[in-house]
Chains A and B, each alone.
Chain A
């Protein structure tokens, strides 16, 4: 539990600074300080156990169904990094309190910082690699916020974006790599994965996984050729640079390489990928660092170089190199964070961090200068400081390493990098603090308040202490961390200042001599450098991003030009191709099922249907005709349902067909009756050809699939419904029993959707009566001659006579539905049609004055009745919608059956009637709106004006 708390504390803490800033800057900083401090105390409380060699684990179920466990574990490596993150975090929090200006939003800063800190601690303590990936991405995001903290600076924004792009892309690659790794190991827990070295290295997917994971590590740790983002991220405030870009975030890549070292290292691929990258990075970055005039730029490249050094050591793959790597991580974190804070002090107090404008600060800022000299000497690798120790170990390992059979090249290049390292370290000291005092500093330089120099001073004390007494100060820590990295390999090493006269000592001496020489001859060396080519990484990156954006835009706009027709054609093409791919890949030849004979009447119906479809396509611009033809096709489908043993479907289809035709004709009253010339075949034959080909191919596919299906036997779960319909549902019409009983919950959903659709229609139509469309409707003139016989007598009489009959039929269909074809859906449609006929016969205005039914309420009531039936079952301790039925006896009527499903069907009935009537009545209401005439008072009348017009005409 305390492990999870260590991770959570910074996150919890992140909530407070933004609030506490109202209580003042110091209160804000104190709040931010308390949470990491608590976490650090908790961590140190675990330290004795870790030093005893225990591994602490805290886990809980995450997605038990997938066997996923989320968990944290603490071993030497995790404790080391968590300690670095929390400890240096505390120093940075103090430092930032004095560094940030009054105008900077401090609360936000600390919130971001703690967010980042929590993510980092999460990365180093996660056991589950998926959890680790989440924290990993979170560090990218929070560092984006921190780098771009000074939002007003374009460099800050660009640097933040670049850092996010590069580390985010690497993070994506790493996700893929981790997934492969987890798949090979069969577990998502690091502690399991770390035990599966043989299986992982033997897998054919080892190399892809390695490359992908390394891509994540290299981008995060700014390894060549991804190193370019780190210097640009220096636009961040100095506390951020000191924290993220020297001590923590850039070490995340190193951490992961160290974490994965037991399973991934030791192969040739690992050696050449990791060691080579590290070596190149170390050398190139050290060279660039020497010629940077910006103090933070110099330190940034120096950081890249030192990260390369550690990467190279990890890449060597030997346990001793791993010890050196761990030791250097510790040493680098101390002296580099101190130097970053130092650069921040110089910038803060002298007003610039351009080396060319500095110099001679030794007497003006004695404390700052002393700290810089000690930390800088450690960076240069001078004895008796800690940087010297780990550099010696590095050179010692480099001497022993052969690269492609070559025994000296690694040592030579490492020494060259060390020369540069000495040179830039002394440049930092000499060009800033020594030399003549100047009189053109932007500010008057002086030492900062103690709050700013104490944190680096603390680190410098460590630098010296580790350097003098390595075995007693850092020995146990290095030992326990190295054991965790190497997976418990036994090593013979000795942390000491003096190892005797070794080759490494000789190389160190050469490096110091050459480095100092280069600094003495700095002008000439720099001229040499400036004569060479300088590829500008930012320009290349920007060009790459611009190219990627242009490509994305070209693809997107090529596919999405705004035309829905085109999208639909693309989508249908894709569906068709996918369908054919599936169809052709499966057995698709005709099956052997016995076929039914084709009755001559069926053939005749088929001819009508095909002809109807062909006519629809040919007449698509003549809209009234196409409605009629499509209606024919619908009727034939309905006949097919009757013939093929589906009486319920036939009843539903025919009633829906009528309602649909009425609806479309009502809409067509407003819509143009003919399609424009511009959409004719002649106007654009190519488009019609494309659509025709697509349609025919898709049609062939559907016909083929249907044919393949119909000629085969298939199994279905229908026998359950057939067996249980009477005994379980109390009805003999199995279709109806399924609808209202077995699958009543589906039906409940369906009627709800239908009700919502009707309300949407109402909203669309009601809104059309106002504003612009309302004015348009008000100015409406019919585009066809109107019949003078507005409400014909024959129709009025016929519909009046039919109304009670239709109601009776509806009731009959409804009541018998459970046992014979029929039911709520069909009854509702029949009743709706009978009602809408009244509107048609005598006009909306006339009918609306007489029909007082609120269709909105009817829809709601229907859904409520259906729901109440279901809930009624729950009241009786049964699952939702459990049905019951019984047989009752009434005098005169006799024995009859009553099922609770009947109540449910009533709900269905009410909803469907309400929905259909709401839709149709509102369409006719719109027609009424456009009519220039008053509402007729009689049920039937003649349009006097049209009649008189005729007379005059």
Chain B
């Protein structure tokens, strides 16, 4: 079992790093998710593995797994959701601003990052009446 967990951590780390190194924002987000899984699993594993010994105090329990890593990982999961959300929204905003989802900003190293894909998009024929319906900004 230990080997399965250790190798799973390694595989998720490798996949996460590979994805994080991609040039477009979306794979980077996915890679961050994978790295999050790997990190959380690793942190959880610092309490060592145990089967059927949840850290819930009861008279029938034969033993307890280390509860502290679990508490840390629980908040880590929630915080990493917050992080993923911010990163996703940032990549979305960057895409809307620059017309391109390259991780480099236009004007930096990659010439690709300077292209504005939006200019190539088909523009929709906007019906005036329909546009009026998008009224609620609140």
Q: Do A and B share a complex?
A: yes
Seen from chain A, the residues whose Cβ lies within 8 Å of a Cβ on chain B are 561-566, 568-569, 572, 593, 595-599, 602-603, 606, 609-610, 613-614, 616-617, 620-621, 623, 626-627, 630, 633-634, 637, 640-641, 643-649, 652-653, 656, 659-660, 663-664, 667-668, 670-672, 675-676, 678-679, 691-692, 694-696, 698-704, 706-707, 709-711, 713-714, 716-718, 721-722, 725-726, 732-735, 738-739, 743, 746-747, 750, 753-754, 757-758, 760-761, 764-765, 767-769, 772-773, 776-781, 783, 819-821, 825, 829, 845, 848-849, 912, 915-916, 919, 923, 928-929, 931-935
Instruction: Give the residue among A602, A644, A753, A820 with the most B Cβ atoms within 10 A.
Output: A644
Known: A675-B26, A738-B71. 13 other contacts (CB 8 A): A597-B1, A609-B11, A637-B37, A644-B5, A645-B50, A698-B14, A699-B11, A707-B7, A734-B64, A735-B71, A757-B83, A829-B78, A932-B133
Mostly, the A contact residues are helix
Q: Is the CB of A613 within 8 A of B44?
A: no
Q: Is the CB of A670 within 8 A of B2?
A: no
Bound Cα distance A595, B112 (Å): 51
Closest to A711 in B: B2
Bound Cα distance A700, B12 (Å): 11
Q: Is the CB of B89 within 8 A of A702?
A: no
Mostly, the B contact residues are helix
Query: Quick one: given A757-B82, A919-B85, are A572 and B68 in contact (CB under 8 Å)?
Result: no
Instruction: Give the residue among B48, B51, B55, B131 with the most A Cβ atoms within 10 A.
Output: B55
Q: Is the CB of B109 within 8 A of A563?
A: yes
Residues on the B chain within 8 Å of A733, using CB: 55-57
A929 → B minimal CB distance (Å): 6
Closest to B129 in A: A934
Instruction: Give the residue among B21, B85, B101, B103 with the most A Cβ atoms within 10 A.
Output: B85
Bound Cα distance A555, B74 (Å): 42
Q: Is the CB of B1 within 8 A of A602?
A: yes
Q: Is the CB of A568 within 8 A of B50?
A: no
- Number of residues from B at the complex interface, CB < 8 A: 105
Residues on the B chain within 8 Å of A915, using CB: 82
Seen from chain B, the residues whose Cβ lies within 8 Å of a Cβ on chain A are 1-27, 29-30, 33-34, 37-38, 40-42, 44-58, 64-68, 70-71, 73-75, 77-86, 88-93, 95-97, 99, 101, 103-105, 107-110, 112, 117-118, 121-124, 126-127, 130-131, 133-134, 136-138
Residues on the A chain within 8 Å of B46, using CB: 709, 714, 716
Bound Cα distance A833, B11 (Å): 30
Bound Cα distance A738, B57 (Å): 13
Q: Is the CB of B37 within 8 A of A634?
A: yes
Q: Is the CB of B124 within 8 A of A735?
A: no
Q: Of B10, B75, B118, which one neighbours A776 at CB under 8 angstroms?
A: B118
Bound Cα distance A746, B57 (Å): 23
Query: Quick one: given A617-B15, A781-B122, A934-B130, are A709 and B71 in contact (CB under 8 Å)?
Result: no
Q: Is the CB of B75 within 8 A of A739?
A: yes
Instruction: Give the residue among B15, B118, B137, B138 with the most A Cβ atoms within 10 A.
Output: B15
Residues on the A chain within 8 Å of B97, using CB: 768, 772-773
Q: Is the CB of A734 within 8 A of B118?
A: no
Query: Quick one: given A565-B21, A626-B27, A743-B71, are A781 and B121 in contact (CB under 8 Å)?
Result: yes
Query: Quick one: given A620-B30, A707-B2, A779-B123, are A825 and B85 in contact (CB under 8 Å)?
Result: no
Bound Cα distance A754, B70 (Å): 19
Q: Of B70, B126, B136, which one neighbours A778 at CB under 8 angstroms?
A: B126
Residues on the A chain within 8 Å of B2, using CB: 595-596, 707, 710-711
B109 → A minimal CB distance (Å): 4
Q: Of A640, A653, A696, A721, which one neighbours B67 at CB under 8 angstroms?
A: A721
Bound Cα distance A568, B58 (Å): 48
Residues on the B chain within 8 Å of A746, using CB: 75
Residues on the B chain within 8 Å of A617, using CB: 15, 18-19
B90 → A minimal CB distance (Å): 6
Closest to B130 in A: A932
Instruction: Give the residue among A672, A704, A733, A935 with the most B Cβ atoms within 10 A.
Output: A672
Q: Is the CB of B41 within 8 A of A640?
A: yes
Bound Cα distance A656, B104 (Å): 29
Q: Is the CB of B14 within 8 A of A699?
A: yes
Residues on the A chain within 8 Å of B103, using CB: 564-565
Bound Cα distance A691, B24 (Å): 14
Q: Is the CB of A647 within 8 A of B8?
A: no
Q: Is the CB of B17 within 8 A of A764?
A: no
Q: Is the CB of A616 within 8 A of B49?
A: no
Bound Cα distance A849, B55 (Å): 44
A840 → B minimal CB distance (Å): 17
Q: Is the CB of B81 within 8 A of A656?
A: yes
Q: Is the CB of A640 within 8 A of B15?
A: no
Q: Of A640, A694, A739, A761, which one neighbours B5 at CB under 8 angstroms?
A: A640
Q: Is the CB of B95 within 8 A of A670?
A: yes
Q: Is the CB of A821 within 8 A of B54?
A: yes
B130 → A minimal CB distance (Å): 4
Q: Is the CB of B8 within 8 A of A935?
A: no
